[in-house]
């Protein structure tokens, strides 16, 4: 039986006190030299690290974790200036230092920072990993850094991706690399156009359409379910929503996030699902997003953004 009652926001609200808009913009602009400095030092660092990448990849990943700690924490500063973050749910149920598979709905360019906020509570922010398109790994400067960070690359081709994911899971497990691996089952950000396409997909397959999320792709999770249950004992299921000061749900673009004042509130729900409790991967994923759909509707109806 599904419990439709959801807990209140028990965790402290993250974010700075209300500051004058001009002051917030000034502070953000002052952060830019820091970001630029980190970028250029990372270019140098990436170049120097290239030989180690080929000689001892494990140590390359461990050393790069130091930079990821700095970078991810720097990204938290604009977040605190930009928005309020309210978190509820079973954060305490996540074991410190535990490797987990994280699944979330995807609402915009900066919603990954909500994932980082939860990871930071458990001391895992330097170990946040993502599943990315392989083409990103070939971008100069950025590409090598993503490899150093030990992200998982896929081709969006089922047959190839099964082998890529198996290889990745075996590597991180056998080399004892701490990580939280983020999976966005929707495959893309929520937009009105993507919502229309998702509704058409549901209609073709006889699936009741969703209201606040896209229909999840189930094949990616199925690969993890069938091949990585020995690595990920728990799934951290995150539901994220956002409301701007004017009531808009659209999350600001990344460049606006870093340079312009964007008042708003993020709401985050966290639950922990033991992998052993999942009986059918496809049914679980569909029900997982049904739950997200209900939560997002509840938040909107009860105006939780103003609590």
* pLDDT given at position 98: 93
DSSP 202: H
Q: List the structure tokens of 84.
A: 């309020």
Nearest-5° Cα angle at 224, 223 to 225? 90
Query: How many distinct structural domains can be found in the chain?
Result: 1
With a cut of 70, say whether residue 70 has pLDDT above it: yes
Per the domain annotation, does 245 fall within a domain?
Answer: yes
> Exposed, middle or buried by CB within 10 Å (0-12, 13-18, 19+), for 203?
exposed
What is d(CA 40, CA 35) in angstroms, rounded to the nearest whole number?
9
Mean pLDDT of 40-58: 85
pLDDT over 70 percentage in the chain: 90
Instruction: Between 182 and 47, name the one with better pLDDT.
Output: 182
Q: What is the enclosing helix (H) or strand (E) of 268?
A: strand 264-274
Instruction: Between 230 and 38, name the one with better pLDDT.
Output: 230
* pLDDT given at position 1: 37
Per the domain annotation, does 4 fall within a domain?
Answer: no
Mean pLDDT of 49-64: 89
Domain range for 294 is 19-301
Q: Considering the chain, what is the average pLDDT of its residues?
A: 86
Report the CATH number at residue 282: 3.40.1130
Per the domain annotation, does 258 fall within a domain?
Answer: yes
* pLDDT given at position 213: 96
Instruction: Between 247 and 129, name the one with better pLDDT.
Output: 129
Per the domain annotation, does 307 fall within a domain?
Answer: no
pTM: 0.87
Binning pLDDT at 50, 70 and 90, where does residue 10 land? low
What is d(CA 251, CA 118) in angstroms, rounded to the nearest whole number?
19
Per the domain annotation, does 255 fall within a domain?
Answer: yes
What is d(CA 212, CA 290) in angstroms, rounded to the nearest whole number?
9
Binning pLDDT at 50, 70 and 90, where does residue 276 land? very high
With a cut of 50, say whether residue 3 has pLDDT above it: no
Mean pLDDT of 265-284: 94
14, 117 contact by CB (below 8 A): yes
């Amino acid at each position: 039986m599904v419990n439709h009652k959801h807990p209140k926001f028990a965790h402290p609200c993250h974010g700075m006190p209300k500051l004058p808009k001009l002051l917030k913009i000034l502070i953000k602009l002052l952060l830019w030299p820091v970001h630029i400095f980190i970028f250029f030092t990372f270019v140098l660092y990436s170049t120097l690290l290239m030989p180690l990448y080929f000689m001892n990849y494990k140590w390359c990943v461990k050393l790069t974790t130091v930079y990821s700690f700095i970078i991810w924490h720097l990204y938290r500063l604009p977040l605190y200036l930009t928005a309020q973050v309210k978190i509820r749910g079973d954060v305490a149920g996540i074991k410190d230092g535990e490797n987990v598979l994280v699944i979330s709905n995807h609402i915009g360019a900066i919603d990954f920072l909500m994932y980082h906020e939860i990871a930071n509570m458990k001391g895992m922010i330097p170990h946040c990993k993502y599943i990315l398109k392989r083409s990103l790994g070939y971008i100069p400067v950025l590409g090598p850094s993503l490899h150093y960070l030990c992200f998982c690359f896929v081709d969006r081709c089922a047959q190839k991706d099964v082998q890529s994911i198996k290889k990745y899971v075996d590597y991180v497990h056998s080399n004892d690399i701490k990580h939280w691996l983020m999976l966005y089952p929707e495959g893309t950000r929520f937009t009105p156009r993507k919502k229309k396409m998702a509704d058409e997909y549901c209609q073709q397959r006889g699936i009741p359409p969703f209201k606040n999320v896209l229909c999840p792709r189930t094949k990616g999770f199925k690969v993890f379910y069938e091949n990585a249950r020995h690595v990920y004992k728990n799934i951290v299921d995150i539901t994220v929503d956002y409301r701007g000061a004017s009531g808009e749900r659209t999350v600001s673009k990344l460049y606006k996030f870093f340079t312009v004042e964007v008042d708003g509130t993020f709401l985050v729900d966290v639950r922990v699902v033991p992998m052993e409790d999942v009986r059918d991967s496809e049914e679980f994923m569909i029900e997982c997003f049904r739950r997200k759909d209900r939560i997002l509707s509840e938040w909107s109806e009860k105006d939780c953004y103003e609590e």
